[in-house]
Amino acid sequence: MSTAEAPLALVSGATSGIGLAVARLLATQGHRVFIGARDAARIEATVKELRAEGHQVAGRTLDVRQDTSVRDFVAAAVDQMGTVEVLVNNAGRSGGGVTADIPDDLWHDVINTNLNSVFRLTREVLTTGGMRHKTRGRIINIASTAGKQGVILGAPYSASKHGVVGFTKALGNELAPSGITVNAVCPGYVETPMAQRVREGYAVAYDTTEEAILERFTAKIPLGRYSTPQEVAGLVGYLASDAAASITAQALNVCGGLGNF
């Protein structure tokens, strides 16, 4: 494949954890990659790091909660790199607590960051990004096993990720005849900075140590350990490939057996 023909992939939240592993793998598989997240310095550092590895990567700041930011992000990607063939909606946040005590701000921010963002960025990529006129496209949404089962003290997070799974199934069916597939990847426990913050939150909620929470969570996973960001990226890379052309409207787990549904 020549440089000019390399397909363009957009990855939100690509400066950390799963998103960074996805950006690196898609680039390794021959995509040009355009990345976004809120922190400009981390975008710059990540672009530099991936370019130093020989990848064709660019990026700009993106806040998936903001319409204008999403529009500017996709417009910049198209300006600099052309139309979009692969979209990975990865940016997300944790968030929850005792449901009766959850303030409106927290509820809305989790839903906005994890669910409304997926609609916003997807619509923008289909339109401004040019994907709706293509005969091949890939939309891959990073949901969660919490998008298939309820997580205690995680009502907003679970609700947002169930929403992502529902959106994925509906859009996958809608776009199936077009050659654009839409799938959700559902990680279980993955060792990232977010996983660390989640353990801190549960340690406070249960008045115990982070080590005790880690032990409790790990005990629930049949594999006996957290998944790695690279293992999640591996499924994203497969879904982006030609071999996955008939997989659409699915929500597939990468979770060490945590959820078998």
Ligand X SMILES: NC(=O)c1ccc[n+]([C@@H]2O[C@H](COP(=O)([O-])OP(=O)(O)OC[C@H]3O[C@@H](n4cnc5c(N)ncnc54)[C@H](OP(=O)(O)O)[C@@H]3O)[C@@H](O)[C@H]2O)c1
Using rule CB under 6 A, residue 95 touches ligand X: no
Using rule CB under 6 A, residue 92 touches ligand X: yes
Using rule CB under 6 A, residue 62 touches ligand X: yes
The sign of the dihedral angle between the CA atoms of 98, 193, 20, 184 is: negative
Rounded to an integer, what distance in angstroms lies between the CA atom of residue 68 and that of residue 150?
A: 32
Rounded to an integer, what distance in angstroms lies between the CA atom of residue 86 and that of residue 125?
A: 9
Tell me which of 59, 163, 187, 201 binds ligand X, using CB under 6 A: 187
Could you tell me which of 84, 157, 156, 170 has the C-alpha nearest to residue 119? Answer: 170
* Residue 157: active-site member: yes
Using rule CB under 6 A, residue 192 touches ligand X: yes
226 backbone dihedrals φ, ψ, rounded to 5°? -65, 155
Using rule CB under 6 A, residue 34 touches ligand X: no
Look at phi and psi of residue 141 and say left if phi exceeds 0, alpha if psi is from -120 to 50, else beta. beta
Using rule CB under 6 A, residue 136 touches ligand X: no
Secondary element (H or E) of residue 36: strand 32-37
Which range binds ligand X by CB under 6 A, 36-44, 78-86, 96-104, 131-139? 36-44
Using rule CB under 6 A, residue 113 touches ligand X: yes
Tell me which of 24, 60, 65, 148 binds ligand X, using CB under 6 A: 65
- Contacts with ligand X by CB under 6 A lie at 12-19, 37-39, 42, 62-65, 90-93, 113, 142, 144, 187, 189-190, 192-195
Active site residues: 157
